[in-house]
Amino acid sequence: MKSLEKIYREAGAYLEGHFLLSSGKHSQFYLQSAKVLEDPKIAGLLADELAKMIQLSDIKVDTVCSPALGGILAGYELARALGVRFIFTERVDKVMTLRRGFEVSEGENILICEDIITTGGSALEAARAVELQGANITAFAALANRGFCKRSGSDHNQKSECKLPENLPFFALDDFIFEIYDADNCPLCKDGSKAYKPGSRSN
């Protein structure tokens, strides 16, 4: 397989500019996974690679669960590659919830899948939502890791911003590590440009 960065760049999913992230911080780069996953063949290929890593471990997975909306495509493809069931959680009045008739049985082994893990906040909320129904969370996965959490097999250490539990494995295809800045200490702002929200223009 080509490098994940090459796949993102070729899909126009590795954006360069001056971005205002949902955390309020600024960055020169932004990953738009939906642009990679718009090609089902590439989505399938990436999910197959991720599934191989998971199958090589001893992790039990009965079901893949993703937080809506961002994680759904990656999670669905991963579930297909693993041959297991797929469900998703969504926010209702800001609370991550299991809806649409999805049910979880007591002790069901669930892997939580995102497109990209930054601090893992939404993934952790999805995990808590299915744990409330009796699920046993066995692992976390994402296509890419933004470098705050430690993915299995990577030399990079976990940073304090990471919210994923350290005792569970986190599988991702690669690390995408780039600087993010506080709004009042951003070199791009100092150069005179203005940060904008990804998706608010042509991206």
Is 195 a binder of Zn ion (CB under 5 A)?
Answer: yes
Q: Rounded to whole angstroms, how far apart are CA atoms 130 and 155?
A: 31
Q: Residue length, the chain?
A: 203
Beta bridge partners of 86: 64
Strands 95-98 and 26-31: unpaired
State in angstroms the smallest separation of the CB of 160 from Zn ion: 23
Distance CA 48, CA 86 (A): 15
4 binds Zn ion, rule: CB under 5 A: no
Our CA dihedral for 187, 193, 199, 203, rounded to 10 degrees, sits at -100
Looking only at the bridges linking them, the beta strands covering 180-181 and 170-175 are unpaired
Size of the site for Zn ion (CB under 5 A): 5
Residue span binding Zn ion (CB under 5 A) among the ranges 22-30, 43-51, 85-93, 162-170: 22-30
Q: Residue with structure tokens 């297909």? A: 80
The residue number whose beta carbon is nearest to Zn ion equals: 186
Taking the complex as a whole, how short is the minimal distance between the CB of residue 178 and Zn ion, in angstroms?
Answer: 14
**Spatial CA neighbour of 119 closest among 39, 200, 46, 24:** 24
Site for Zn ion in 165-194 (CB under 5 A): 186, 188-189
Amino acid at 37: L
Binds Zn ion (CB under 5 A): choice among 4, 7, 26, 121 = 26
Q: Which residue's CB is nearer to Zn ion, number 31 or number 126?
A: 31
Shorter beta-carbon distance to Zn ion: residue 112 or 186 = 186
| Binding segment (CB under 5 A) for Zn ion, from list 25-33, 41-49, 82-90, 155-163 | 25-33
Window of 27-35, 122-130, 160-168, 195-203 that interacts with Zn ion by CB under 5 A: 195-203
Q: By C-beta, is 53 or 189 nearer to Zn ion?
A: 189
